[in-house]
Structure 1
Amino acid sequence: MIVGTAGHIDHGKTALVRALTGVDGDRLAEEKARGITIELGFAYADLGGGGITGFVDVPGHERLIHTMLAGAGGIDMALLVVAADDGIMPQTREHLAILDLLGIRRAIVALTKADLAGPERRAEVVEEIRDALAGTNLGDAPVMAVSSVTGEGIDDLRAALAACEAEAAARDASGLFRFAVDRSFVLQGVGTVVTGTVLAGRVGLDDSVMISPMGLSARVRGIHAQNRKAAEGVAGQRCALNLAGDGVTKEAIHRGDLLLAPALHAPTARIDAELTLLASEPKPLGIWFPARLYSHAFETGVRIVPLQGPLSPGGRGLVQLVLEHPVAATVGDTFILRDTSASRTIGGGRFLDLRPPARKRSTPERLAWLEASRIEGPEAALSALVADPAGGMDGRDEMPAAVTVDLPAFLRDRGLPYRSLSQMPACIGVAAIGDLVLSSSALDRLRADLLAQLQTFHEENPDLSGIGREKLRLSLTPRLPKDSFLRFLGEEAGAGRVALDGAFVRLPGHMVKLSPEDEALFSRIHPQLLGEGRFRPPRVRDFANAFEIDEREIRRMMRLTQKLGWTDQIAHDHFFAREVTREMVAIILDVAEQSEDGWFTAPAFRDRVQNGRKVAIEILDFFDRLGLTLRRGDLRRINPHRVDLFGD
């Protein structure tokens, strides 16, 4: 368990931690000289339950709130310190507000310096504390009077903390590794060391990690967990990690960086979030409001865009955060906002979407997406994200556009290892196309839309074999990414619902049909593709001149006959009847068989069809392209694997 102290400056936080653990959290000479905590202090102790409890001692000075925030992000419970002689002070209230905004729900209030106050004063301060806690997550926190000077209440407080540790549930370590860095330094003979809290997952010796957001790779070569040498660190522990790797130096790693499992490295500078604005704010929060953002130990400037109109003091709403610097975040991470001068806390909340759009960020669809993102649990959230809007068409003529989710990105942004949808059985009413997830009803509509569009296209264009894949993709709803669309088409073709014809898609039973006019024209052309001149038939231009018809019409009609399998375009504008093509294949096979080694020349073929060298080579080039013949210089031979290319 990690316990974080909170409270006003000089209220005895460090002395209390020392009394509980025997460790002085002030480690800097300046801290000892001035008697205040400037940097985060850490202490560890076995409080009697056999486990190791870590204490994060944070500064209480107003100007050091940013340091307090660096330590508050990873704590399991708070030890709120209020001096009996002073009572509730400004930094006490601000620390309490921060703990509430961060969602901390477990705390003990230590009424310190109890030796300086009599029973009446103690009762008065306890009443102040109760008033301050009212309406927060810590409203039921017990208040215990203690004195670090006389030892009053220290044993009772230690026992209460031990009981809390025994009741505390271990953090789930099944997610991928995430570690918030709050210090980076060098130990002689050891190398670069970082300290912080394991937010999720676990890390072992020799594991590879990514330092994010910079994207620097490192290897873990030493671990101290809860101040003890260990083989691994797990979620909920404070750890010191000895890192190695190219460029891994003290100067390269900063407070606020995260160590991650490499699969999680995907920093972002734009986040949609849920924000609670403190009631103490003087006016509503408007668009593009500047502030400072703190999440775990990370700090950066930010602009705030309310998504549902100005956010009133004491209100809660959806906002978009535009960060000055990218952050390695996870959906569900909490954050605090302070004003640009860092003199007061404005509010806080949690991240909902790490990849929001910069435009159309307040549409009903986006707001519905963010409402679904509030749901706890990946399966429930995924089901809600892709669910069709309640009430079907909701009075509109058309269904709203279906929502699709990239499953690997969805899991990564939640710090979870990759799983296919089949490994998430609790996702009700959800289907997948590869790793693209959508609702089962949306997939049914997509299939129906696909068939309807193909049917309409065939009715309007009976002379075309099918519709182009990209044109079809852009016309369907939802519009799938190209890779997912190709997979979808493959699955539909495998099920026999559509047929794929190169870059075109058609219904399985569709056949190209000639119009009566085209049939009449082909009936005049076809006889001239047969007979004695069949191995050297007229070209498109010849037919156009003979029939006084535009070349383009002849060419269009002949290409349709090619799609029907009636003709083959051997060379540009030079069409041969399919039966003549088969005859030429038989001739080539015979010419090859009569050669000594199976290799034959173009003149040998030319002499058999008697059509001239140029046309003979065009024909052979055609068969080369189809793979029927294999060429080596001026020689060719038959490819035995393609001899049935024009079989019946």
Structure 2
Amino acid sequence: MDNTYFTIGMAGHIDHGKTTLTKKLTNVDTDRLKEEKERGISIELGYAPLQTEDGTHVSIVDVPGHERFIRQMIAGVAGIDLVVLVVAADEGVMPQTEEHLEILQFLGIEHCIVAISKIDRVDEEMLELVADDIQERLEGTIFDGAPCVLVDSLSGKGIGELKETIFSELKKVKFRDAYGSFRLPIDQVFTVQGQGTVIRGTIYEGIVQQGSQLTLLPKGHKVKARQIQVHHQEQLQARAGQRTAINLGGIDKADVTRGDVLVASDHFMVTDTIDVALQLIDKDFSPLKQRAPVKVHVGTSEVMGKIVFFDRNELAATKDEVLCQIRLEEEIVVRRGDRFILRRPTPVKTLGGGWVIQPKGAKYRFGEETMAMLRAIKEGTPQDLIEDVLDKHIVLDVQQLIQQTSLDGHVLQETLLKGLEQGRLLEVSPGKYSLAKTYAKITDEMSERLASYHEEFPMRTGMSKAELMQSLSGAYPKLFIEYSLNALTGQEKFKKIEQFIALDSFEPHLPKKWKTRMEGIIASLEKDGLQVKKWNEYFEGTPVPKNDIPELTLYLLNTRQAYRLLEDTLIHHNAFEQALAKLQSGTDEAFGLKEAKEALDVSRKYLIPFLELLDGLNLTIRLEEQRHWTAEVKLK
């Protein structure tokens, strides 16, 4: 399980021992705030790394249990893969235990371990009653039959067994795909002296690399990942499933809030209207009127909105899934399939939860026509399902598509063929598919990056292929970038010169600002012929920036307007051609230093480097003390 990353949530009622148990498992105290220490409760999310022997990377999040801190609890569990439900042996199932259970199920978390804590405080009979009560409560839920472990954090009883159970259950968890577009919902933001703005969150999908250019949604701010940490250890990259802190460049703390989402591409939608499939809580549900105010928790965001029904004017208790719409007061970032929790604002109570069937809803008419449309959206056609998963994962093979869509293999193949014929899908390598719209997006991104690069470095041949691919690797898999580059080069939109990529229309040129000055320098170099000064001396007394000297040097060499005579000396192309012609006409097929000096009439200071340059260009071959013209030179 090397290179897999999971996040475990410790959930349960206040004071049932979650923080103490986390510390016993990890040797990390997650109560970091002074008021948490004083009150003995967790207010903010606390995280700790769990060491494993098989290379699996695990973070434990200690979720606040108090009712007042349910918002932080929802933010914490939104990114977890496995929950450890902690129930104290001396109290049993309590109100927050019940509410946490409901929330966990609504968020689609499928794997659970029950840890009955503080077992040294009760006798065997009481322990059996608590265990029976928990199993009865889990009956009929997604956690029915979840393993149960007895622990005591003070004496250490059961801690080893709990660790083994955690590792065993994690083997059943499908770890998050690192090949999706990078997305990190932010649950904490703060400043560090001398570093600036730092955010924390669990990466939902994709990979982020140090130096990556990112976007903060929904505001659209462009930021840079200056430094990445995983459990206080600096890393060059972090991936899906990892609890991560990122030092952001280009933004103040005041411009970042919990609920914002950090992304690496434009694949994500900002919306204030979501179409949803809603499931209500099992008991104590009070009817909800049309357009009633609700509080939506999705990812790490908490937003007020109004619920809109298209088949009723009041929602009564029901076990059926309800298709409806939520119109939000603020924009959020969601994708189809994202889970949410719905709560009543006053009195505060969980109403239910579900999943987003369409991120960008519109205003619809009341009635059966709209309900039929919502049902179709929820079910999705085979083409919808394929396009949905390819939008998320960029490139998938047939087996992965079957796993992700649950489509029959025959239906999948038919739909793929149809998608290829319609130009909606691309086969980027044998048996591997992607979306045509994703190819259009990466085309625009590559073109923009190259255009910006050409503007910043007009004298360079182009951007190195490795640099261009690296700049896109946070949002796209390598295979897809390679395919796109080859396709665009083949269509003559881009051109490849050795290891460099450039827009087809681009030619290296002198920057407009320094064009006249640089042309003067080049003219001086040409005028000096073979007896040139050191290259840096030509810039003395000019305002041309020092940083542009190596740029101009490479420009002249790459465009063959000049040759390098010595490490610090160049010769103009015209001067080189004149000297070459002069040497040819003044020597025979073979010649020595004496003949060359007489032909060119220059000192050895310039003569020797010029002759060695001819050798390097394969125009002459040196045999002992004589040089012979090669077939490359047409002798006069």
List per-residue Cα deviations over 1:384-442 (Å, max 9, x = no partner).
xxxxxxxxxxxxxxxxxxxxxxx7xx679x545499xxx996626845766699xxxxx
- Going from structure 1 to structure 2, the CA distance change for 1:357 and 1:135 (only over 3 Å counts) comes to same
TM superposition shift of 1:314:
3.7
The match for 2:374 is 370
- Going from structure 1 to structure 2, the CA distance change for 1:155 and 1:380 (only over 3 Å counts) comes to farther
1:217-616 paired onto structure 2 within 5 Å:
217-245=222-250, 248-309=251-312, 310-315=314-319, 316-341=321-346, 343-360=348-365, 362-364=367-369, 366-375=370-379, 380-382=383-385, 415-417=392-394, 427=415, 430=418
- Going from structure 1 to structure 2, the CA distance change for 1:17 and 1:411 (only over 3 Å counts) comes to closer
Identify the range of structure 1 (163-172 vs 76-85) with the bigger mean alpha-carbon deviation. 163-172
Kept after mapping to 2: 8 A contact 1:206/1:221: yes
Kept after mapping to 1: 8 A contact 2:310/2:365: no
- Going from structure 1 to structure 2, the CA distance change for 1:48 and 1:116 (only over 3 Å counts) comes to farther
Kept after mapping to 2: 8 A contact 1:379/1:426: no
The match for 2:47 is 42
- 1:121 and 2:126 aligned: yes
TM superposition shift of 1:278:
1.1
TM superposition shift of 1:118:
0.9
TM superposition shift of 1:47:
3.4
Aligned partner letter, 2:297: Y
| Structure number with bigger Rg | 1
- 2:44 counterpart SS class: coil
Kept after mapping to 2: 8 A contact 1:9/1:61: yes
The match for 2:489 is none
Identical-residue share of aligned pairs (%): 37
Q: Distance in 1 between matches of 2:122 and 2:208?
A: 48
- 1:263 counterpart SS class: coil
Q: Distance in 1 between matches of 2:425 and 2:158?
A: 58
Q: Distance in 1 between matches of 2:389 and 2:171?
A: 31
TM superposition shift of 1:160:
1.1
Q: Distance in 1 between matches of 2:127 and 2:189?
A: 42
The match for 1:4 is 9
- Going from structure 1 to structure 2, the CA distance change for 1:372 and 1:300 (only over 3 Å counts) comes to same
- Going from structure 1 to structure 2, the CA distance change for 1:382 and 1:167 (only over 3 Å counts) comes to closer
List per-residue Cα deviations over 1:453-477 (Å, max 9, x = no partner).
xxxxxxxxxxxxxxxxxxxxxxxxx
Aligned partner letter, 2:159: I
Q: Distance in 1 between matches of 2:167 and 2:33?
A: 29
Aligned partner letter, 2:258: R
- 1:292 counterpart SS class: strand
Aligned partner letter, 1:173: A
- 1:85 and 2:84 aligned: no
The match for 1:14 is 19
TM superposition shift of 1:108:
0.5
Aligned partner letter, 1:194: I
The match for 1:505 is none
Aligned partner letter, 1:185: F
- Structure 2 gaps, min length 5: 1-5, 402-411, 427-636
List per-residue Cα deviations over 1:580-619 (Å, max 9, x = no partner).
xxxxxxxxxxxxxxxxxxxxxxxxxxxxxxxxxxxxxxxx
Q: Distance in 2 between matches of 1:87 and 1:433?
A: 59
Q: Which of 59, 64, 86 is 2:69 aligned to?
A: 64
- 1:251 counterpart SS class: helix
- 2:255 counterpart SS class: coil
TM superposition shift of 1:237:
1.1
Kept after mapping to 2: 8 A contact 1:291/1:338: yes
Q: Distance in 2 between matches of 1:342 and 1:244?
A: 41
TM superposition shift of 1:285:
2.9
TM superposition shift of 1:289:
1.9
The match for 2:459 is none
Q: Distance in 1 between matches of 2:20 and 2:414?
A: 50
The match for 1:111 is 116
- 1:196 and 2:201 aligned: yes
Aligned partner letter, 2:270: P
The match for 2:158 is 153
- Going from structure 1 to structure 2, the CA distance change for 1:202 and 1:425 (only over 3 Å counts) comes to farther
- Going from structure 1 to structure 2, the CA distance change for 1:240 and 1:125 (only over 3 Å counts) comes to same
TM superposition shift of 1:38:
0.7
Q: Distance in 1 between matches of 2:341 and 2:282?
A: 15
- 2:286 counterpart SS class: coil
- Going from structure 1 to structure 2, the CA distance change for 1:47 and 1:411 (only over 3 Å counts) comes to closer
- Going from structure 1 to structure 2, the CA distance change for 1:283 and 1:31 (only over 3 Å counts) comes to closer
Aligned partner letter, 1:367: M
Q: Distance in 2 between matches of 1:279 and 1:167?
A: 28
- Structure 1 gaps, min length 5: 384-406, 438-648
TM superposition shift of 1:171:
1.2
Q: Distance in 1 between matches of 2:25 and 2:347?
A: 32
Kept after mapping to 2: 8 A contact 1:382/1:427: no
- 2:269 counterpart SS class: coil
Q: Distance in 2 between matches of 1:297 and 1:163?
A: 29
Kept after mapping to 2: 8 A contact 1:47/1:161: no
Q: Distance in 2 between matches of 1:343 and 1:89?
A: 17
TM superposition shift of 1:236:
1.1
TM-score normalised to the size of structure 1? 0.59
- 1:357 counterpart SS class: coil
Q: Which of 143, 146, 154 is 2:148 aligned to?
A: 143
Q: Distance in 2 between matches of 1:215 and 1:350?
A: 25
The match for 1:467 is none
Aligned partner letter, 2:114: V
List per-residue Cα deviations over 1:139-172 (Å, max 9, x = no partner).
1211111001111101110111122234433211
- 1:75 counterpart SS class: coil
Q: Distance in 1 between matches of 2:132 and 2:11?
A: 19
Q: Distance in 2 between matches of 1:342 and 1:17?
A: 32
Q: Distance in 2 between matches of 1:433 and 1:426?
A: 12
Aligned partner letter, 1:427: T
- May I ask how many residue pairs the two structures share in their alignment? 405
Kept after mapping to 1: 8 A contact 2:111/2:173: no
The match for 1:462 is none
List per-residue Cα deviations over 1:267-305 (Å, max 9, x = no partner).
100000000011224433331121111011100111111
- Going from structure 1 to structure 2, the CA distance change for 1:282 and 1:31 (only over 3 Å counts) comes to same
TM superposition shift of 1:210:
0.8
Aligned partner letter, 2:274: I
- Going from structure 1 to structure 2, the CA distance change for 1:266 and 1:45 (only over 3 Å counts) comes to same
- Going from structure 1 to structure 2, the CA distance change for 1:274 and 1:429 (only over 3 Å counts) comes to farther
Kept after mapping to 1: 8 A contact 2:311/2:368: no
- Going from structure 1 to structure 2, the CA distance change for 1:103 and 1:154 (only over 3 Å counts) comes to same
- Going from structure 1 to structure 2, the CA distance change for 1:194 and 1:130 (only over 3 Å counts) comes to same
Kept after mapping to 2: 8 A contact 1:208/1:261: yes
- 1:73 and 2:78 aligned: yes
Aligned partner letter, 1:370: L
TM superposition shift of 1:220:
1.0
Kept after mapping to 2: 8 A contact 1:286/1:311: yes
The match for 1:100 is 105
TM superposition shift of 1:6:
0.9
Q: Distance in 2 between matches of 1:133 and 1:172?
A: 29
List per-residue Cα deviations over 1:487-521 (Å, max 9, x = no partner).
xxxxxxxxxxxxxxxxxxxxxxxxxxxxxxxxxxx
